[in-house]
Structure 1
Amino acid sequence: MSSAKDYVKNDATRARKHNMLGMSFAEVQERLAEPNQDVVLVPMGSTEKHGAHIPLGTDSYVTMEVVERAAQNVDVLFTPLEPFGYSPHHMGRNEEGAGTITLQAETYRRVLHDVARSLIFHGVKKIIFVSHHGSNTKPIDEVMRQLRYKTGAYISFYKTPTEREANVVQDLFENPPEETPGWHSSELETSCLMATGDGLVDMERAVEDRAHAPAYMGASFSKIDGTGTVKYKNSENIWVPMEHHEYSDTATIGNPFRATPEKGLAMFDRMAEHLGGYVEEVRQFEVSVTYSDYPERA
């Protein structure tokens, strides 16, 4: 029969934990009491329609891979993943069965608010929300400002390098710009899913496709990627609340056939290094939390 002492490991052999989901309250207390451990990453995922060759959880898988790698690199805590995001435009047509699960903007903001206030209550001074899903950044300005004004904590949102802000991994792409390599279900996401685990990619279902302006808008308008804008007379200054299926027939924007697992691993390394570097910078910020209590938590 095993005794309690058989399960006790000394500090030299105990693995350094970073995911708060697997830590006891005592371990979290000890970690937050250490120098430079006042930063916590909060991964924000999504469950939404992607190309038929990769899963609904693509943005969640990429987010967590980057967060876990960064946490190991720079020794920072992170919370469990929030698997649902702001994805109303990915729902598809009624009863089509696309599988997307979206939070309304206000619900999503409440999640960000309540997670942040809980962490600040425990003594965290700096919170970095992290997400690979671009639309998770659309509803956030109001709630992030409220958190800062109310508590004095440092609040920021880190979007993994992709889409129009892909400079960190740009040189790893083989797709030319017109193939939108960092966009939905294209070279970047397919490569990352190939590198994440077996069985997540089915290239027999993959297609190469491009974005276009919604058909109802006519020939005067065009669209090159998945932003919320359309072009008119060479000017991209018009924002339209479009459904994804209105401008992407297959939920793929780009060419996934240039994807490889090696690229995915290289992209994860770059993203994790970039996020880790940001964490190290944030650790140097002078931040004073002016209000940490959370009496309205119920």
Structure 2
Amino acid sequence: MSSDKALLPLGALMLAASMGAAAQGSAPETTMSTVTVKETAEIQGKDTLLLKKTTVGKGKQDIKDIPQSVTVFTEKLMADRNQDDFREVLRTTAGVTFLAGETGEEDVRLRGFSLGQAGDIYIDGMKDAPLIERDTFNHDRVEVLKGSASMLFGKGSTGGVVNQVNKAPLLIDQHEAAYTFGTGNTHRATGDFNFVTGENAAFRLNAMVQEADNYGAKQDKRGIAPTFAWGIGTRDEFSIGLYYLESKGRPTYNHPWRLSADGKINTTLPARNFYGLESDYTNTSSQYATLGHIHRF
């Protein structure tokens, strides 16, 4: 007991000495220079080829968080490929086929299952009518979800869902007009005009006119889509939009051959000729109005 008590003053002396040495040997305080971090913002809008978020569900979410295959066709990608028709966009997607009827109407099938008959073609998350002509003049992007639609949309097709996203007003003045001339005496003119009308308000107008003879299989289309939005980027954002598309066409039966009496192909006919009836027609039209409200919590 006496030896343990004798060590206490010695331990306290050693502790005080070590603290004093540390204090004398500590380096003076220094201030680091300013650190500047540079990062490129994610590009959104007309010049985007790759998107990380999608609205194919009932809300905006990261594509990586959806446990299914999602393919997104942006406005720039469709413009680079000159894809004016909705079916042309889907033809470039693996697993999409078409069941063509005698009058030229095409039922879209994804992974072998019908989308049009099942009601799994959407426009801004709302069901779109089946078996109608569609155009991409007002499409910001087209989202293709491959897999059971019931995961995000409740009852639906086993094949998947196609969601069309309309263009929305932007807080920037930008205007674009394009003209296309193609085979079959095809003429197409489109316009995309965006006007900033206030601090957080904008108006956007998209219009399209197309006339094509197609060597007898005519197709004439007219479309216009004005949209006004206010409160853009704020807690409460509102929008109102109108859409009108009219298509008048004459289908072709696509039989460029002549059969002999024994049922064999006798003569191959030029593929670009018109093989149909002048009295046939395929006329469709779409008109709707949309009201939107986004509240950010």
Shorter-chain TM-score tier: under 0.3
- Give the TM-score, by structure 2 length: 0.24
- Give the TM-score, by structure 1 length: 0.24
**Structure holding more strand per residue:** 2
Over alpha carbons, which structure has the higher Rg? 2
Query: Which is bigger in relative contact order (C-alpha 8 A, separation at least 6)?
Result: 1
